[in-house]
Structures are given as structure tokens and as C-alpha cells.
Structure 1
Amino acid sequence: MRGTYLQLLLRGLLAGLLAGLVAGAVAFLLGEPQIEAAIALEEQAAVSHDHGADEGHAHSHGEDALVSRTGQQVGLFLATGLAGMALGALYASVLSAARHRSRLSGPVLALVAAGLGWAAVAAVPFGKYPANPPAVGAPETIDQRTLLWAAAVLLGLAAAAAAVAAARALPSGTSLASRLTAPLAVFLAVVCVGYLALPGIDEVGEDFPATLLWEFRTASLATQASLWLVLGVAFAWLTERFDRRSAAGTRGDR
């Protein structure tokens, strides 16, 4: 993987912006219908809860939100674009350090890093604490749930680091099958131990539609997957183009 750190950083920002916008489109197309349905259920539950209360108290739930749904939907793409750029910067920084210790080519290293990033930051936390729609979750436990989710992210990063260390520790003559299965086994072992140590949280009400919950969680997972997939593919493509131009320029100088 050729280029200075600044060049890698710019490459990561560009790939991250593209990945964020694609993820925003996926979230809008797949997740917005479930969010609308969940909000409708939440408002219906609030009205039922306030039934029989004084008119002023009941009216308080009907007040407009600080940001309209249209504004939230527009802000979705802004948020995912900025988040994608921030992720791309971190991703490029990791690759800048990893390229000096890896024998993989630049594009392959970019794809492998994106896969590990998705597994560590998205898949592992999702497996223990899957995303919930707006109508699910008690407000008083939001801090606890946030801290546990952060702990699950750290668990995923630790598992990814352990898998990389296991792959590097294998002898040079190790078969391809062992090079794939050994790091995977280490990754899964660390994740399983962490899952047992972390407490479980289930605040989904018995009356909440199972289909709506499943569709929302599927949309959330698809959004994360598209973010990391586009980030890895875009960065790998940009890296391959840059490496080819650099190699051609080097041959032309001779």
C-alpha cells in the first residue's frame, strides 16, 4: 500500500463519505418504515396511558417535536455522511500502521480490515445487544444500555486483535485452511467468553409486534454491513488505482 499518511487519510475520508451516504440510503429505504411504525405505536401507547387524565396533561404528548420527521430524515444523510468520514479517517489510520506489518497487498489488506472492523464494531455488539426501535427500551436505563453497548464494542475489538495476533503467530508453512480457521476460532472464543460475562438486557414488551422488531433489526444490520462493505471496497479500489499510477510513474522515471 503506497502513499503518505495524508494521502491515505484523504482516501479514507472520500471512501468514508461514500460509504456513509450509501448507508444513509439503506437506512432510509429499509429502516424508516419500521421507525414510522414504531413511533405510531409509541404515540398510541402514550395516548392510552393518558386516557382519563386532565386535558392539559394529555395535550402535552401531542406537542410537536423539536425536529420534525422530515428534518430528521434529511439529517439522516448528513449524520451518516459525517459519521462515515470519521470512520474513514480512523480506518485509514489503522491501515497506515498495519501496512508496515502485513504481507498482504494494499487492496486485500483494505478488504480484510473492513471485514474485521464490521465484525468487531457491528456484528459482535449486535449479537449481544441488537438494535431496538424507538418504542422499545425504558428511558431510565439508557445510560446502562449505552455503557453495555460500548463494552460490547471493546469486546469485539479485543476479539479482532486476538485473531490478528493468532494469525501472525502461525508458522510460515501453515496451510491456508489453518490460517483461516485458527484466527476464527480465537475470535469466536473471545466473543463467547465476553458474551457470558456481559449481562443480558431484554426490554421488548410482550405486546410489541415481533415482525416489526425483526424488520427493524434486519435494517439496522444491513445499514452497518453496507457502511463497512462500501468503505472497504471503495478504499481498496482507490488504493489499487493509486498503486498502479505510482508503479507506472516509477517505471517511467527509469
Structure 2
Amino acid sequence: MVGNLLLRGMIAGAVASILVFAFAHTFGEPLVDQAIAFEEAAATAAGEAAEPEIVSRATQAGIGLFTGVMAYGIAVGGLFALAFAFVHGRFSKLSARGTAAVIALAAFVAIILVPGIKYPANPPAVGNPDTIGVRTELFFLMIVVSVGALVAAVAFARNLAVRFGIWNGSIIAGIAYIVFIGAVQYLLPPINEVPENYSAAVLWSFRTTSLGMHVILWSVLAVVFGFLAEKRLETRSPVGRPAFR
């Protein structure tokens, strides 16, 4: 059963990746071109020699982008399916589609939204190459903390639900999660390496486009996988019995 769900998760990830690629190619790549143009102009003004183009921009924006997005989407889809197989039927009475939607929303908040608030995505020409290691470590630290805090908040909400009810317990746990994440983000060092003369419009558009790509990925993944998983579980479950345990 888990292997079958895993396959469906990878299929859902592939479907989502096609839409993400179309969005990124249409709205994201022109912003990357503008960022590269700024970077090249800054290098020329500083008297630096132009770096040789190892991979053409056409390849990067085409097959390169498609391959990267597809590999990422399929991997995420597989992990999503494993999370679904572990959660569904064990912690709630939600349907397969409902469980998929909740997992996708929680993953988007913990893995994408929260880390992105502290350390948002940056286009080319933004960031010091000498600090890339530190920036990467801080970003992944924020992801680990966010995911861990979300898991703790869910457990906290379940305990509170016994005394205060599901709704009130969820609100209290949600507030605790927000307060904790706010404190962590306040304590972690900020990173601001945007050049003073960099276009604010390009920076803002790039970050919102990057966020939009993830919104598409997780939304489509939840819808497609929820549909596929529900159909599969319905064919495996006798009438009146839980679909998956």
C-alpha cells in the first residue's frame, strides 16, 4: 500500500512540476535576465572581466529549469506520500483529500513561508559569494526549527484538546507556535546583502514569483495526490471500515 501511495505521490509531484515550470519560465526567467544584466553592468563598471558562460541562458531557462523543477517536484511528491501514509487514519478522521490538504498547508507554512520570512529568496547579483555557506546553514536551520516547532505545536494542540476542545486547543497551540517562531527569527542574525542601487521592483517581483512557484507546487500536489489517494483507498477498503491504518 505504501509503495502504491509513493508512486501516486511522485505522479502528483510530476504534474505539479509541469505547472511550476510553466509559471517559472513565464514569470521568473525574465526577472533572472534582468538580475544578470545588473550583475554584468556592475562588473563592467568595476573593470572586472566577464565570466565565461559555461551553460547558455537558453539551456538554463529551458531544459535546465525543467529538469531541476521536475526532479524537485517528484522528490517532494514522494516525501509527501510517505508523510500521508504515516498520518492518514492515525491522528484524525479526515478523508484522504482532507489529510492531503492539511499536510500540504502545514508543509508550505513550515518549510517555505516561515523560513522565507526571515531569509527570502534572492535573484542573481544579490548576496556575497563569501557568505553563501553561512546563509545556507542559517536557512536550513530555520527550516529545521520551523518543522520541529510545528510538530510540537500539533502534539500540544492534541493535549489541549482534551481540556479545552479541538478548536480552542488548536488556537492556543497556533499562538504558541507563532510566538516561538517570532522569538527564533528575532534571535537569528539578519542577512541583508542587497546592493544599494538594486532595483526594488525586480527584487520584490522575484521573491513573490518564487513564493508563487511554491504555492502552485503544494496546492497542485495536495489536489492531485488527494484525488489519486482517495481513489486508491476506496478500492482497497471494505464498506464501513477505515480506508487506511
Tell me, yes or no, whether TM beats 0.5.
yes
Maintained 8 Å contact 1:159/1:186: no
Q: After superposing the two structures, state which structure 1 stretch, 99-108 or 75-84, moved more.
A: 99-108
Q: Which residue of 2 aligns with 1:88?
A: 77
TM-score, normalised relative to structure 1: 0.87
Match of 2:55 among 55, 64, 67: 67
Q: Map of 1:9-24 to 2, 5 A cutoff? A: 9-24=6-21
CA shift for structure 1 position 227 = 0.9
CA shift for structure 1 position 171 = 3.0
Deviation digits for residues 200-250 of structure 1 (CA, Å, limit 9, x no counterpart): 000011111111110110101111111111111111111222233334xx4
Q: Map of 1:168-207 to 2, 5 A cutoff? A: 168-172=158-162, 174-175=164-165, 177-207=167-197
Number of residue pairs aligned between Structure 1 and Structure 2: 237
CA shift for structure 1 position 183 = 3.1
CA shift for structure 1 position 90 = 1.1
Q: Which amino acid aligns with 1:16?
A: G
Q: Which residue of 2 aligns with 1:132?
A: 122
Point out where structure 1 has 5 or more consecutive residues left out of the alignment.
Answer: 51-57
Residues in 2 aligned to 1:244 and 1:144: alpha-carbon distance in whole angstroms? 48
Counterpart check, 1:31 vs 2:28: yes
Counterpart check, 1:144 vs 2:137: no
Deviation digits for residues 130-182 of structure 1 (CA, Å, limit 9, x no counterpart): 01110111110111111111111112201211221122213357556425422
CA shift for structure 1 position 107 = 1.4
Give RMSD over aligned pairs.
1.7
Q: Which amino acid aligns with 1:184?
A: G
TM-score, normalised relative to structure 2: 0.91
Maintained 8 Å contact 1:166/1:186: no
Maintained 8 Å contact 1:23/1:80: yes
Residues in 1 aligned to 2:148 and 2:75: alpha-carbon distance in whole angstroms? 21
Residues in 2 aligned to 1:148 and 1:46: alpha-carbon distance in whole angstroms? 28
Q: Which amino acid aligns with 1:156?
A: S
Point out where structure 2 has 5 or more consecutive residues left out of the alignment.
Answer: 240-245
CA shift for structure 1 position 37 = 0.4
DSSP 3-state at the match of 2:121: coil
Residues in 2 aligned to 1:172 and 1:108: alpha-carbon distance in whole angstroms? 22
Q: Which amino acid aligns with 1:189?
A: V
Counterpart check, 1:78 vs 2:75: no
Maintained 8 Å contact 1:133/1:213: yes
Residues in 1 aligned to 2:147 and 2:138: alpha-carbon distance in whole angstroms? 14
Residues in 2 aligned to 1:221 and 1:143: alpha-carbon distance in whole angstroms? 22
CA shift for structure 1 position 100 = 4.5
The percent identity for this pair of structures is 37
Q: Which residue of 2 aligns with 1:122?
A: 112
